[in-house]
Structure 1
Amino acid sequence: MQIAIMGAGAVGCYYGALLARAGHAVTLIGRAAHVEAIHQNGLVLETASGRETFSVAASTEVEALRGAELVLFCVKSNDTETAGAAMAVKLADSAVVLSLQNGVDNAERLAAIAGREVIPVVVYAAVAMAGPGHVRHHGRGELALGASTRSEPLARLFQAAGVQAAVADNVTGMLWAKLVINCAWNAVSAVTQMPYGALMAVEGVRDMVIALVRECQRVAQACGVTLPEDIERSTLMIADTMAGQRSSTAQDLARARPSEIEHLNGFIVRQAQAHGMATPINHTLLVLIRALTQGHPSSDISPA
């Protein structure tokens, strides 16, 4: 299958590498330094099992999407509308689009811009770029696809590539659950530039995470969203299962790039305000990240 990755950062490159290994024709669309490294050295995937290099197409131009049968849309939430509009005119009518993004409303926003169905996908993968054209896998890698007539065949496609993938009955609840986990950890990791395991060892962090989760639970309830009963436990477990990982927001700040904070804690704050609720912890973290990113350049089709 002809597969394009729009906004090929760590997430896009990881799944792009696995799909290329499975024999699919993969095209990565991303930043110039990334594309140049792939042209010179191939796409490098580093896992606990070792290091592999894949020959894939790569481009900085959206034009490279032409001919794609499947598109994995992996851009930052901030860039959904801009990238979606640029992509829409290049796609074949039969192309299938998956949103592998943080946040809960990207598929809906992208569908409105692109004028086509977009299937939301919840991503559970700890991956990071170790350098241009070099993605490092730290753990997990499962995908949960939203329900669609096309979802079951796509789940099987990922499964054949070695990815644990399934169609979810309640993808909205799963997206919200991941949002809560991101709200609990991303900003704190970014402000401190510390990984999750080290953060949990700091006195008071555990209590703060629990308070933040409960704050998000109240907002979710006001929005009519049912979160998993174990959301508090699963959020705390991140400190164990991803102990050595810094958040994507921490990595964005370290590289002086725009973060997705407005679509994480910022989303919770806006939803709370719409329901006449206060979310002081989320609001504090949002403001701190805004202050730390003040003056960062805006991005253009930046990878998640």
Structure 2
Amino acid sequence: MPLNTPSHTGRLRFAVMGAGAVGCYFGALLARAGHAVTLIGRPDHVQAIQAHGLRLQTATQDTHVPLEASTDASAVRGADVVLLCVKSTDTEEAARQMQPYLAPGALVLTLQNGVDNDERARAVLGAAHPVAAAVVYVATAMAGPGHVRHFGRGELVIGPSPASARVARELCDAGIPAEVSDNVRSALWAKLVINCAYNALSAIVQQPYGWLVQQDGATDVIADVVAECLAVAQADGVPPPADIHAAVRGIAQSMAGQRSSTAQDLARGRPTEIGHLNGYVVQRGAALGVATPVNRALLVLVRMAEASGVRGPQDHQKT
């Protein structure tokens, strides 16, 4: 029964496809609120969760949350809502894996970096399965198998769909601030700009945000990156948020000690999402006739670091 119908009044069933730091944190809060939640992730995490529950560690508590966990995409079967939390590079493949098992009318929410994951998932899933983008503002980390840590924030901005309002209410009731916005594309771009400003630089030098902005010339490079991103967004018909410059500056203060997710991927020898961050700006800029030389340089530098096998200090912070 579609979850947006009046007769669907019970607790929602959630599945988290790609249960890393972000998906585990939101899954834990939903499970604590009484929703049925199934996490789909890597074997080491799944085994730990099956044995002991998911360990949720925040500034005020350290507890284990019992919930279901699986390594198989078939575990989305019966879910009312699927939180798609895989890397942007894996969006289409994850959608293909889920498609045979999705319930009719199940809402897929894309909680990912980048601005086009909902479009890419929708192209695979078709009209039978509604897809909505969600912008995520949270600092979380996997501290070990089955162990998620929360460092701050935790709100979502959800794009419109027939079920978005219902889902947002349930999220709020579970302690996850959520709102539905008709302007989610602008919010996605705002996060993209911040990621483009810091992620590649943090990855290349394997340093946190606060260190970056203390280096001579770094804030000028960041300003150039932001200017290019905003020029592409404007050419693409996306109005920039009025406070984007303040938001970019604020990250270096509020997350001063954190390395970017791109830095973490590089340090662990994993593929990065750089093609969906600075790479996306370069791609759209080329299509729209907007020059993006600074974003292109950062894209190439990160790809060269990937190709050369550069490694760095490994911590587990997710940003």
Could you say which residue in structure 2 is the equivalent of 1:13? 24
Structure 2 stretches lacking a partner, 5+ long: 1-11, 310-317
Q: Answer yes or no: is the 8 Å Cα contact 2:105–2:130 preserved in 1.
A: no
Q: Work out which of the residue numbers 28, 36, 39 in structure 2 matches 1:28.
A: 39
Please give the per-residue CA displacement for 1:24-52, whole angstroms capped at 9, x wherever unaligned: 11110011111112122221111111212
CA shift, 1:110, in A, is 0.3
Give the length in aligned residue pairs: 298
Q: Answer yes or no: is the 8 Å Cα contact 2:19–2:86 preserved in 1.
A: yes
Q: Which moved more, 1:131-140 or 1:178-187?
A: 131-140
Q: Answer yes or no: is the 8 Å Cα contact 1:191–1:289 preserved in 2.
A: yes
What does 1:36-115 align with in structure 2 at a 5 Å threshold? 36-115=47-126
Please give the per-residue CA displacement for 1:227-257, whole angstroms capped at 9, x wherever unaligned: 1122111111101111122111111111111
Distance in 1, Cα, partners of 2:83 & 2:14: 8
Could you say which residue in structure 1 is the equivalent of 2:204? 191
CA shift, 1:166, in A, is 0.6
Q: Answer yes or no: is the 8 Å Cα contact 1:139–1:242 preserved in 2.
A: no
1:123 maps onto 2:140 in alignment? no
Please give the per-residue CA displacement for 1:30-76, whole angstroms capped at 9, x wherever unaligned: 11111112122221111111212111111111111111111101111
Equivalent position amino acid for 2:92 in 1: E
Equivalent position amino acid for 2:136 in 1: V
CA shift, 1:278, in A, is 1.9
Q: Answer yes or no: is the 8 Å Cα contact 1:265–1:285 preserved in 2.
A: yes
Could you say which residue in structure 1 is the equivalent of 2:252? 239
Q: Which moved more, 1:45-54 or 1:155-164?
A: 45-54
Q: Answer yes or no: is the 8 Å Cα contact 2:48–2:146 preserved in 1.
A: yes
Q: Answer yes or no: is the 8 Å Cα contact 1:130–1:136 preserved in 2.
A: yes
Distance in 1, Cα, partners of 2:80 & 2:230: 38
Aligned residues: CA RMSD? 1.5
SS of equivalent residue, structure 2 residue 272: coil
1:277 maps onto 2:290 in alignment? yes
Q: Answer yes or no: is the 8 Å Cα contact 2:208–2:256 preserved in 1.
A: yes
Q: Answer yes or no: is the 8 Å Cα contact 1:181–1:235 preserved in 2.
A: yes
Distance in 1, Cα, partners of 2:205 & 2:63: 33
SS of equivalent residue, structure 1 residue 34: helix
SS of equivalent residue, structure 1 residue 294: helix
Q: Answer yes or no: is the 8 Å Cα contact 2:168–2:179 preserved in 1.
A: yes
Q: Answer yes or no: is the 8 Å Cα contact 2:130–2:161 preserved in 1.
A: no
Equivalent position amino acid for 2:55 in 1: V
Deviation above 3 Å: which 4+ runs of structure 1? Answer: none
Q: Answer yes or no: is the 8 Å Cα contact 1:26–1:56 preserved in 2.
A: yes
Structure 1 stretches lacking a partner, 5+ long: 297-302
Distance in 2, Cα, partners of 1:114 & 1:295: 36
- Normalised to the residue count of structure 1, the TM-score between the two structures is 0.95
1:170 maps onto 2:187 in alignment? no
Distance in 2, Cα, partners of 1:225 & 1:17: 34
- Normalised to the residue count of structure 2, the TM-score between the two structures is 0.90
CA shift, 1:96, in A, is 1.5
Please give the per-residue CA displacement for 1:122-151, whole angstroms capped at 9, x wherever unaligned: 001111211111111111111001122211
Please give the per-residue CA displacement for 1:169-201, whole angstroms capped at 9, x wherever unaligned: 200010011101000011111112111122222
